[in-house]
């Protein structure tokens, strides 16, 4: 197993997107020191709670602020962009930071329908867009080639990744119920390629780790409120609410059940609980790499979360060996 991080630069009530972006850069420096393999940032647009709107720009800053950790997109949402522009952006990054840049590709819009119209998304066939993008990396007019990953939360993206012989990243934090079917579809459809000789699965899951189960449950109150608000209003649910406020939020019986159902597949707790949760997920998926995303208000607590996870998986990290 290898251990990595996904971040969205979450924006908190009373803070600013600028502060969130600076915190993301600071976090990358810490997780590099903790031994994490890679640090990816997601693409979202016009969402009040998310500041990671421009992965290529943010990846450049992250690469400049670190020295060894791989940095990349988790992911660039290809239908939002001309493939040539994506190839040029990430090819430039790879030329400036050799062997440290990843290009994760997804097909979702990353926003609400109104913003989708503003993005003027391409109606081209996604596999054709992906083929065009990959083709540019064989062109010597692009500064450098970049490893391409396919991201997904369903079996359809998994099968495409397998057929193309690409590494596959599954969004367990987004759609945990589809993890096993998607991973199975990827492995069943995998064909060796110039990019990859054998299947490689990364699973990204949400983890909130603290020194005790009680503290983790308190920190999770922010996520609980976000779940309820998103179920009613999508991404435009306002900025994330600190746990000191969210913990006192009154919920209906239906909302409490929604929170319970959504929390069940996540890994939340103190060291022993988190260790068991991670072990169970890795055993069930047989993933080659675990990517962690968290939602914690205080920057010091967020850093502590990733430090705990690294400590809990250190024995696995020490023996990790992988072509990726």
User: CA 12 to CA 17: how far, in whole Å?
Assistant: 8
Please check the confidence at residue 281 and state whether its pLDDT lies above 60. Answer: yes
User: CA 240 to CA 223: how far, in whole Å?
Assistant: 8
| DSSP-derived 3-state class of residue 218 | helix
* pLDDT tier for residue 314 given thresholds of 50, 70 and 90: confident
Please check the confidence at residue 316 and state whether its pLDDT lies above 50. Answer: no
pLDDT single digits (tens) 160-169: 999 999 999 9
Share of the chain above pLDDT 90, in %: 85
Nearest by Cα to 281 from 290, 273, 270, 293: 290
Nearest by Cα to 160 from 105, 238, 82, 80: 105
Distance of CA 197 to the CA centre of its chain: 24
Please check the confidence at residue 317 and state whether its pLDDT lies above 90. Answer: no
Share of the chain above pLDDT 70, in %: 95
Pairing assessment for the beta strands 148-152 and 267-269 based on DSSP bridges: unpaired
Q: Work out the number of other CB atoms within 10 angstroms of the CB of residue 168.
A: 29
* pLDDT tier for residue 120 given thresholds of 50, 70 and 90: confident
Please check the confidence at residue 315 and state whether its pLDDT lies above 80. Answer: no
Please check the confidence at residue 304 and state whether its pLDDT lies above 80. Answer: yes
Nearest by Cα to 66 from 40, 103, 31, 41: 31
| DSSP-derived 3-state class of residue 268 | strand
Please check the confidence at residue 149 and state whether its pLDDT lies above 70. Answer: yes
User: CA 267 to CA 244: how far, in whole Å?
Assistant: 21
pLDDT single digits (tens) 45-77: 888 999 999 999 999 999 999 999 999 999 999
Q: Work out the number of other CB atoms within 10 angstroms of the CB of residue 121.
A: 18
pLDDT single digits (tens) 188-228: 999 999 999 999 999 999 999 999 999 999 999 999 999 99
Which residue ranges form the domains of the chain, and what is each CATH number? 2-210+270-319 (3.20.20.30)
Mean confidence (pLDDT) of the chain: 93
pLDDT single digits (tens) 251-267: 999 999 999 999 999 99
pLDDT of residue 318: 42
For residues 109 and 7, which has the higher predicted lDDT (pLDDT)?
7
219 token code pair: 């920190």
User: CA 3 to CA 265: how far, in whole Å?
Assistant: 19
Please check the confidence at residue 324 and state whether its pLDDT lies above 90. Answer: no
User: CA 280 to CA 299: how far, in whole Å?
Assistant: 28
pLDDT of residue 322: 55
pLDDT of residue 320: 41
User: CA 166 to CA 147: how far, in whole Å?
Assistant: 9
Helix H or strand E encompassing 186 = helix 179-189
Residue 54 — φ and ψ, nearest 5°?
Answer: -130, 85
User: CA 232 to CA 128: how far, in whole Å?
Assistant: 35
Q: For residue 149, give every residue at least 6 positions away whose Cβ sits within 8 Å of its Cβ, in sequence order, or none.
A: 72, 75, 102, 103, 104, 105, 166, 167, 168, 169, 202
């Amino acid at each position: 197993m290898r251990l990595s991080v996904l971040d969205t630069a979450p924006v908190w009530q009373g803070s600013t997107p600028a502060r969130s972006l600076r915190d993301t850069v600071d976090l990358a420096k810490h997780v590099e020191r903790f031994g994490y393999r890679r640090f990816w940032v997601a693409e979202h647009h016009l969402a009040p709670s998310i500041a990671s709107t421009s992965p290529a720009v943010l990846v450049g800053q992250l690469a400049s602020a670190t020295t060894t950790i791989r940095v990349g997109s988790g992911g660039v949402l290809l239908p939002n962009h001309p493939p040539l522009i994506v190839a040029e952006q990430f090819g430039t990054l790879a030329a400036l930071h050799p062997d440290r840049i990843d290009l994760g590709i997804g097909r979702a819009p990353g926003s609400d329908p109104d913003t989708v119209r503003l993005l003027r998304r391409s109606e081209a066939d996604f596999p054709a867009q992906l083929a065009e993008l990959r083709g540019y990396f064989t062109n010597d007019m692009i500064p450098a080639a970049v490893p391409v990953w396919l991201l997904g939360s369903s079996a359809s993206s998994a099968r495409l990744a397998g057929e193309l012989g690409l590494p596959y990243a599954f969004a367990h934090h987004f759609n945990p119920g589809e993890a096993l079917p998607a991973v199975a579809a990827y492995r069943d459809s995998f064909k060796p390629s110039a990019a990859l000789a054998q299947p490689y699965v990364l699973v990204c899951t949400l983890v909130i780790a603290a020194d005790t189960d009680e503290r983790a449950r308190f920190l999770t109150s922010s996520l609980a409120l976000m779940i309820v608000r998103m179920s009613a209003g999508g991404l435009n649910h306002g900025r994330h609410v600190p746990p000191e406020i969210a913990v006192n939020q009154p919920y209906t019986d239906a909302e409490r059940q929604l929170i319970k159902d959504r929390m069940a597949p996540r890994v939340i707790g103190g060291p022993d609980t988190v260790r068991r949760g991670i072990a169970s997920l890795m055993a069930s998926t047989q993933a080659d790499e675990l990517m962690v995303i968290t939602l914690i208000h205080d920057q010091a607590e967020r850093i502590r979360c990733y430090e705990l996870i690294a400590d809990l998986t250190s024995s696995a990290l020490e023996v990790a060996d992988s072509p990726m």
